[in-house]
Structure 1
Amino acid sequence: MYGSRLSFGMEVYGVSRAAFSSLLLLPVVVTAAVISPVTGAPLKRPGLERSAMSSMLQDPNTLRIDHDVGELWLTVTNWGFFGSENNFNYSSCIFPAYSNTKYLFWGGLWIGSINEAGDTLVSTGCEGWAGPHYEFYPGPLDGIDDWKDVISERSIRLTSPHYDTAAISEQDFIAYYSDTGTAATWPAYVGPDHEPLGLEITQRSYAWSYSYSRDFIIFDFWLKNIGGDTLRALYMGLYLDADCGHFGDEWTYPLAQDDVTGFRRWRDLSDTLWPDGTTFYSQLNPGGIDVGGEGKTQSPAEMINVAWIADASGFSNPDNWPTPDVTGTRVLRTPNPNLTTSYNWWYSNQNADEDWGPADLTNPHDVVGTPETDQQKYIILSNGYFDPDQLDPVNGDFAVEKDTRYVLSFGPVYPEGRDPEDPSQWYFAPGDSVPITLAYIGGEGFHRDAVIPNGPADYEGHYDFGDLAVNASWAYTVYDNPGVDTDGDEYFGDYVV
């Protein structure tokens, strides 16, 4: 994903982005559009409500809003948090639209690093267990750029009240937040143990209603070091606790107890090798190299690397509600070509004997179960492990459905241009900023029956990853059109012929 170009604008055989809205069913070729920052006081969406967390003017103006133009309705916020918890005024993650079936309780960004004092710190958009849960908040503490404490909206729809020529999708949301608040500045919100990394996040999210893009939402993050410390070995992750089932049942204990998670590497397990004669072009190999017969690891449209979570049987507790689909997340862009990706999951439980997650028993520092401290969270973010799928028999007695959570993480994160082979250059200095792009994806028809399979070898006939895989592939294609010089810099991205 090194060298990718942000390319949400669309072009079909010479048709401009202005005509994109009419191309609902045509094959597309994606071309670059430059996303510029918001440069004025943004519009507030009608009906956008301030969270109950913000009751006084001096408090952070925490807001939630739903992406709801496609089939995936997802609640986003301006404090690094996703989902609705128990707030039934928001969709959390309903999929498909109008199904009354949800696939997210809560989730959030986790970002960890080591500061100049040698302290290992992690800031969380959703801690997810012991709390305090939230360590990112909107708006500056110094009163400058106060417009940053709202969520702004844009749209490419000419009929939308939010129509804007700078829009990327039918529903753009833009939010800003940072981890710089402390117990001294916001004692009612930030826990006494939070030590800021000094990070500001610009979050842009995009949704469409077109047939090929209505089942996913793309998140474009810009991380900026606004603190005084040079941060080293910075890792970022997305934490998710799904609790799949009937919308409105979140308050019931059984709803959360029958989820399963896993990791899908390939779009098509039967088609993972390049045909003979395939040539791969990249920034490192501008003249092309022969990759015929090799794995399609160079194509993010084929090697999709999706972390997924679903109800185990397709009928969720406590009311046997049909929950037949699946959601997943994947990385689309990072600035680091030697990125280490990790996928870790666990069950959280107040009973220590039932609080468990796969661990490397040869590593005395690995985490078994819920990561509660900053040090444990950082290990999860940076360990480079890919846990076996939850139902894999290698997990022994724990290969069963439970109240599962996962973190998909990656790093080290540092600006493009540094030597990826030299660890001394893996730092994030004051003023540094980097782009990171993720996709949140839905897949229909995951369950073929109500059988809970006995691990990946038994998925066939019970779990169907086809729609999730196709949508994950489309998310990358909509994000970046390989082989096209979309921004005129004479670099065509990584592609094969």
Structure 2
Amino acid sequence: MHNLQVDARTIKNIHTNKAQAVSNFCVTQHDISNIILAVQNQGKIGFSYRDEFMGYTDCFTGKVIVASCEFPKGSFLDNLQYVGLWVGGIKKSDTLVSIVTDGEPGGNTDEFFTDPSSDGTLRKKSISDENSSQYKDLISEQDISFSYVDTLYRYHTFDDIDLRPHEPLYIKVTHNSYAWSYDYAQDFILFDLKIENIGSEKINDVYLGMYMKSYFGYFETLLGNATLSGFLEDYPSNYGCNYKDTLNMAWLTHRDGVAVEGEYIDYVKRIGLSAYKSNRSVIGLKLFNNLHDKLKFSYNWWVRSVLDETSYERYYFGPQMKKNYRSFQSRYNGYPLGDRDMYFLLRNGEIDYDQAYTSKIETYDPVWVYDYNRTATKIISSAYISSISTLQSIGPLTLTPGSSTNLSFALVCGENFHTDP
């Protein structure tokens, strides 16, 4: 693999009453391991099939990217919609949150864009290129790096609660991600995000989070309506002696592994106009607490669903602890809308129960708020559309002008999570 660098294509001018900027957009892939993963230089990891029906074009190869996160390699099975950074903090007395994505298609809520100081440059390099002048600084067989900022005001990024456009924290993020082809490392990709305060004001009580949302299935027929989520706190150690390794990993999978007519198949079967192939894999995201041992960790999930095809009425739900109960500004239990709701999730310190246990929460549960409308149970059992979002976060920190911190995490995939259709 050669040392590559690209100046991304300019695709549009964005005009607002506060700023005018050029968005240099570029997508490429980690493709050296068993995971083929799309990465966008505006901060998104992955993409929605709704964004580009036939996929994006790779900036380096010119080939169409047909899957957001193909695993295993060569299967054409997709396992991801988006992973993206959330940053929340207090500037003076204002609660602000900047997000890469909240999973909604179309990008109307995107608040990070390519760094104008780098003209959107995305770099792709490898330790295999021993002649590179930067060889000594490279880490993996496939290093990808770029930077993006939240400083662009954009007219259709609008806070419906505060009735204002996006208010930047003035954050610059430098993305570095690493992939290997070695057998022991081919099922994960490592990420390190440097988060810098490039503004003139101190940001207090900063919380950093990674958002994740997935679709599963053959790339032509992705199934977002049957996602199952959970959180794995620990796992028995390989060394035995009843020890457990701490994981703290959020995971997503298809509810039944995309069983096709009651069985798992490893070939493409066409039914009508749709193509199906079983996807029994699971995808997980683990934050590394390399910031400070005393920081607060949170894991939250929430769901949006359409249960009535006639009225297309939407239902929303997210678990809440009684001691932390918040009346969300979206009017939906546990579903965030606006900076203040998002900031609450970033800092609430909850570890939500696994989605599969939702129906077990009864009226007098001592810890969790009971879902009196049984909305969650309806959503989880729905065969129509349900969309699960997860958020892992850590904080608080303080970012003075010019200071920075790093957030590291791993994206991990595993095969054969489902065994019985």
Q: What range describes the TM-score normalised by the shorter chain of this pair?
A: 0.7 to 0.9
**Cα deviation, residue 82, structure 1:** 1.5
Q: Which residue of 1 aligns with 2:38?
A: 75
Q: Is the 8 A contact 2:11 2:23 kept in 1?
A: no
Deviation larger for 241-250 or 361-370: 361-370
Deviations 1:71-91 (A, max 9, x none): 111111121212121232323
Q: CA deviation at 1:272?
A: 8.1
Q: Tell me the residue number matched to 1:61.
A: 24
**379-388 vs 164-173, which moves further:** 164-173
What is the Cα deviation at residue 132 of structure 1?
2.6
- Aligned pair in 2 of structure 1 residues 153, 162: CA closer, same or farther (>3 Å)? farther
SS in structure 2 of the partner of residue 165 of structure 1: helix
Does 2:195 align with 1:223?
Answer: yes
Q: What is the CA distance between 1:394 and its match in structure 2?
A: 2.4
Report the counterpart of residue 100 of structure 1 in structure 2. Answer: 76
Q: Cα 1:272–1:122, aligned 2, differ >3 Å: closer, same or farther?
A: farther
Distance in 1, matches of 2:132 and 2:221, equals 34
Q: What does residue 124 of structure 1 align with? A: 99
Instruction: Give the 3 Å change call, closer, same or farther, for CA 445–229 of structure 1 in structure 2.
Output: same
Of 314, 336, 340, which residue of structure 2 is paired with 1:375? 340
Displacement of 1:411: 1.2
Question: Contact 2:259–2:278 (CA<8 Å) still a contact in 1?
Answer: yes
Once the two structures are superposed, the pairs formed by residues 142-181 of structure 1 within 5 Å of their partners are 146-147=117-118, 149-158=120-129, 164-181=135-152
CA-CA distance at 1:44 after TM superposition: 2.1
Query: Residues 50 and 128 from structure 1, CA distance in 2 versus in 1: closer, same or farther, beyond 3 angstroms?
Result: same
CA contact (8 A) 1:182 1:190 kept: no
C-alpha deviations, 1:4-46, integer Å up to 9, x for none? xxxxxxxxxxxxxxxxx9xxxxxxxxxxxxxxxxxxxx9425x
Displacement, 1:107?
2.9
Range 211-220 or range 393-402, more displaced: 393-402
> Where do residues 437-456 of structure 1 align in structure 2 (5 Å cutoff)?
437-450=408-421
Q: Aligned partners of 1:51, 1:103: CA distance in 2, in Å?
A: 29
- Superposition pairs of residues 283-302 of structure 1, within 5 angstroms: 302=245
**Secondary structure at the counterpart of residue 315 of structure 1:** coil
The alpha-carbon distance between structure 1 residues 55 and 374, as it changes in their structure 2 partners (threshold 3 A), is: closer
Confirm or deny that 1:327 pairs with 2:283.
Answer: yes
CA contact (8 A) 2:108 2:156 kept: no
Query: d(CA) in 1 for partners of 2:251 and 2:89?
Result: 26
8 Å contact 1:348–1:356 — kept in the other structure? yes
**Cα displacement string for residues 199-242 of structure 1 (whole angstroms, at most 9, x for unaligned residues):** 11111000110001111110011111111121111111111110
Amino acid at match of 1:357: G
Distance (Å, rounded) in 1 between the aligned partners of 2:349 and 2:90: 17
1:136 aligned onto 2:112: yes
Distance in 2 between the 1:390 and 1:333 partners?
Answer: 24
Match of residue 407, structure 1, among 391, 394, 406? 391
Checking the alignment, whether the CA contact within 8 Å between 1:207 and 1:218 is kept in structure 2 is: yes
1:339-360: per-residue Cα shift (whole Å, max 9, x none)?
A: 2111111112367762111112
1:390 equivalent to 2:355? Answer: yes
Within 1, Cα distance between the matches of 2:75 and 2:361? Answer: 33
Deviation (angstroms), 1:364: 3.8
Unaligned runs of 5+ in 1: 1-20, 22-41, 141-145, 275-294, 297-301, 414-426, 451-497
Give deviations 1:340-389, integer Å, cap 9, x for gaps: 11111111236776211111244342652421111111111111111111
When residues 200 and 190 of structure 1 are mapped into structure 2, their CA distance, relative to the original with a 3 A threshold, is: farther
8 Å contact from structure 2 (residues 26, 40) kept in 1: yes
Distance 1:226 1:357, change over 3 A: same
- In the superposition, the TM-score normalised over structure 1's length comes to 0.65
Residues 1:170 and 1:381: Cα distance change in structure 2 (over 3 Å): same
Residue type of the partner of 1:127? Answer: D
C-alpha distance in 1 between matches for 2:125 and 2:238: 41
Q: Does 1:197 align with 2:165?
A: no
Residue equivalent to 1:468: none
RMSD of the alignment, in Å? 3.1
Distance 1:313 1:349, change over 3 A: closer
Q: CA deviation at 1:333?
A: 4.1
For residues 371 and 70 of structure 1, what CA distance do their matches in structure 2 show?
35
Distance change (3 Å), C-alpha of 1:51 and 1:65? farther
Question: What is the CA–CA distance in structure 2 between the aligned matches of 1:326 and 1:53, rounded to whole Å?
Answer: 36
Give the TM-score of the pair, scaled to structure 2: 0.77
Q: How many residues align?
A: 357
Deviates more, 1:360-369 or 1:76-85: 360-369
Question: Does the Cα contact within 8 Å between 2:77 and 2:218 map onto a contact in 1?
Answer: yes
Helix, strand or coil: the match of 1:376?
helix
**Is the CA contact (8 Å cut-off) linking 2:192 and 2:406 kept in structure 1?**
yes
Measured in 2, the distance between the counterparts of 1:188 and 1:356 equals 26
CA-to-aligned-CA distance 1:442-496 (integer Å, 9 cap, x gap) = 011111112xxxxxxxxxxxxxxxxxxxxxxxxxxxxxxxxxxxxxxxxxxxxxx
Equivalences for 1:346-361 in 2 at 5 Å?
A: 346-349=302-305, 354-361=315-322
CA deviation after TM superposition for structure 1 residue 190, in Å? 7.8
CA distance in 2, matches of 1:95, 1:448: 17
Bigger strand fraction = 2
| Cα separation, partners in 2 of 1:358 and 1:188, compared to 1, 3 Å | closer
Identity rate of aligned residues, in percent?
Answer: 30
